[in-house]
A and B are shown apart, each in its own frame.
Chain A
């Protein structure tokens, strides 16, 4: 008897759950021959709103975890990626990649996750400082997560763009909502499955699929989002995002000039971008003629 292949249903990832879009809208994803490979959720404003609520709810818990524990969880994500390597490679090929290129993309993604895992408990040290002040205070500055980050990821890669965007943001204790590539969304859902089986608390990463032209407005004007990161090249969208961000003075980062497949796309400075510096003035006793130490 011939067997009908079981097609995978591609859903979105919000708050540790895999719902369909609340809008009930889908778009067909076609291969080079024009055959429909899958129906992909065309996410709406309300999906973004729900994802933001999930991200905000998860932020305090994730941000206050021990940095070392965040490192462990990021490393766990890398391990799970490694275990699913074949699946990612075949999905990339389905989306038009060659075998060699697909293999490289998956491997670079895994390595990048390990890279940021390593930075989780180290970037604080290099970005902190003890500051000289002219009074009897011990004055120091440390980075703290900015909060909820909305990300519109790279359009041209399916997996690497996501990993490159998400890893530095969550390594720093933020939570995020990510819009995956519209033309290459298959790996986004599989990556969400990886996250879901990696001890990553629900809501830390939320992945939506859909159209940036429709969603960038909402990504950038939500008052409860603290930063927006944009990896694409549409000048009109960049302008709107910057304007909307002024509503609550969100931080905006446009990373459209970097080649994400090279090592230039990974650095602790990407973590630092979504950090706020907190400076503490700690009174110290002035003993005898001693002055402040710095």
Chain B
């Protein structure tokens, strides 16, 4: 972060008009996208997916299988992109990195005692370094929600900044777990804190808590990114995660990004979907467009 940027007082971040946000979101969901644009949109969605497996029961075999899927979404349909990245636990980073060699698919690793973030500073730093040393291109950290809700913003800011340092060249995504932050005002506040602390991406949720990503929450974060961009000139990426499982919904998110941040953000460098079941739904829709026939999940690989 450049020293010229003045860090604002986070106690006075703008308050959010919840009714206004909901009405705006309702309008994103009423667009009609047809044929070619829809196909382009769906291919873009595929290229923005972080294919994710974050289970206690994950094994090397499961991760390898998912990595294969990441690079070969559905070979029956030619011309499909790969997904943007796979997202795994630090212990699986090496496996994923080896499996994805030469495919261009990035490896993202969660860290900082994901998903709760309840651990010591040293452990969080070494967790991050372990993932980076094993070859992770991206780090998805969780913030300390307890400290944030207590009002200890300095703690949250410093923690993000020190993890960013530990990341080195890896891009840092900061997960807020918005389902635990209760209000849109809090989400705006934590977005500002994370971006000023050096986040490359801000991300809604771990996927372990319901509600996960919702459109109103995402819109608040997108607006925070926009305001931060105007203030500092630095682009920050956005990653809604969890709960986005249909292509229709994913397209609505793209509309929201385009109309809030503009087309510059419409690439997998700046926008991602954290999802495990979204890919198959999009593939089924693409196959439907190609064949004219509604598809069955029986004919698509599970990841």
A223-B295, A248-B296 known, 19 other contacts, Cβ within 8 Å: A49-B294, A52-B294, A218-B294, A221-B292, A221-B293, A221-B294, A222-B293, A222-B296, A223-B293, A223-B294, A223-B296, A224-B294, A224-B295, A224-B296, A224-B297, A224-B298, A247-B293, A248-B298, A248-B299
Residues on B with C-beta less than 8 A from A247 are: 293
Ranked nearest first, the 7 interchain pairs of A and B with the lowest CB-CB distance are A224-B296, A223-B296, A222-B294, A221-B293, A223-B295, A49-B294, A223-B293
Which of A49, A218, A222, A223 gathers most chain B CB within 10 Å?
A223
- Chain B nearest CB from A29 CB (Å) reads 29
Q: List 14 A-B contacts (CB under 8 A).
A: A52-B294, A218-B294, A221-B293, A221-B294, A222-B293, A222-B296, A223-B295, A223-B298, A223-B299, A224-B294, A224-B295, A247-B293, A248-B296, A248-B299
Nearest chain-B residue to A224 (Cβ)?
A: B296
Residue of A nearest to B299 (CB): A223
Smallest Cβ-Cβ distance to A223: which chain B residue: B296
Scoring A52, A222, A247 by chain B CB atoms within 10 A of each residue's CB, the highest score goes to A222
Q: B294: which A residues are within 8 A, CB to CB? A: 49, 52, 218, 221-224
A28-78 interface with B by 8 A CB criterion: 49, 52
- Once the chains are docked, how many angstroms separate the CA of A223 from the CA of B293? 7
A248 to B295, CA, bound (A): 10
Total residue contacts A-B, CB cutoff 8 A = 24
Chain A positions 221-273 with a Cβ under 8 Å from a chain B Cβ: 221-224, 247-248
Query: For residue B294, which residue of chain A has the nearest CB?
Result: A222
**Residue tally, chain B, CB below 8 Å to A:** 8
Q: Which A residues lie within 8 Å of B299 (CB)?
A: 223, 248
Interface residues of B, Cβ cutoff 8 Å to A: 292-299
In the complex, which residue of chain B has the Cβ closest to the Cβ of A222?
Answer: B294
A218: B residues at CB distance < 8 A: 294
On chain B, the residues within 8 Å of A52 by CB distance are 294
Q: Which B residue's beta carbon lies closest to that of A48?
A: B294
* Nearest CB in chain A to that of B297: its residue: A224
User: What residues of chain B lie closer than 8 Å to A222, measured between beta carbons?
Assistant: 293-294, 296
Question: CA A267 – CA B298 in complex, angstroms?
Answer: 31
Q: Which residues of A contact B292 (CB under 8 A)?
A: 221
In the bound complex, residues from chain A placing their C-beta under 8 Å from that of B297 are: 224
Q: Please, which residues of chain B bring their CB within 8 A of the CB of A49?
A: 294
Chain A minimum-CB-distance residue to B296:
A224
Most buried by B among A49, A221, A224: A224
CB neighbours of B295 from chain A (8 A): 223-224
A49 nearest CB neighbor, chain B only: B294
User: Residues of A contacting B296 with CB < 8 Å?
Assistant: 222-224, 248
| Docked pose: A49 CA to B296 CA in angstroms | 11
Tell me the complex Cα distance, A49–B285, Å: 12
**In the complex, which residue of chain B has the Cβ closest to the Cβ of A218?**
B294
Cα separation A29 to B94 with both chains bound (whole Å)? 67
Q: Which of B292, B294, B295, B297 has the most CB of A within 10 A?
A: B294
Shortest Cβ gap from B281 to chain A (Å)? 11
Q: Complex Cα distance A52/B284, Å?
A: 15
A50–B166 Cα distance when bound, in Å, is 49
Q: In the bound complex, what is the Cα–Cα distance between A247 and B294 (angstroms)?
A: 11
Report the minimum CB–CB distance from B291 to chain A (whole Å).
Answer: 9
Complexed CA–CA distance, A20 and B294 (Å): 22
Determine the distance from Cα of A35 to Cα of B236 in the docked complex, in whole angstroms: 65
CB of A150 to closest CB in B, whole Å: 11
- Give Cα distance in the complex from A221 to B292, angstroms: 9
Cα A221 to Cα B294 with chains together (Å): 7
- Separation in Å of the B280 CB from the closest CB of chain A? 13
Shortest CB–CB separation between residue B202 and chain A, in angstroms? Answer: 33
- Residues on the B chain within 8 Å of A221, using CB: 292-294
> How far apart sit A222 and B299, CA to CA, in the bound complex (Å)?
12
* Nearest CB of B to A276, in Å: 14
Query: In the complex, A224→B299 CA distance in Å?
Result: 9
Binary contact track A197-233/B, C-beta < 8 Å → 1, others 0: 0000000000000000000001001111000000000
Residues of B with C-beta under 8 A to A224: 294-298
CB distance from A178 to the nearest CB of B (A): 18
Interface string of A4-43 (1 = CB under 8 A from B): 0000000000000000000000000000000000000000
A52, B293: Cα distance in complex, Å: 13
Task: Give the shortest distance, in Å, between B253 (CB) and chain A (any CB).
Answer: 21
Which residue of B is nearest A53, CB measured? B294
Of B292, B296, B299, chain A has the most CB atoms within 10 Å of the CB of B296
CB nearest neighbor in A for B295 = A223
Chain A residues lying within 8 Å of B298, measured Cβ to Cβ, are: 223-224, 248
A223 CA to B299 CA, complexed, in Å: 9
Task: Tell me the complex Cα distance, A224–B280, Å.
Answer: 14
Q: How many angstroms from the CA of A4 to the CA of B298 in the assembled complex?
A: 53
| Chain A nearest CB, measured from B290 CB (Å) | 13
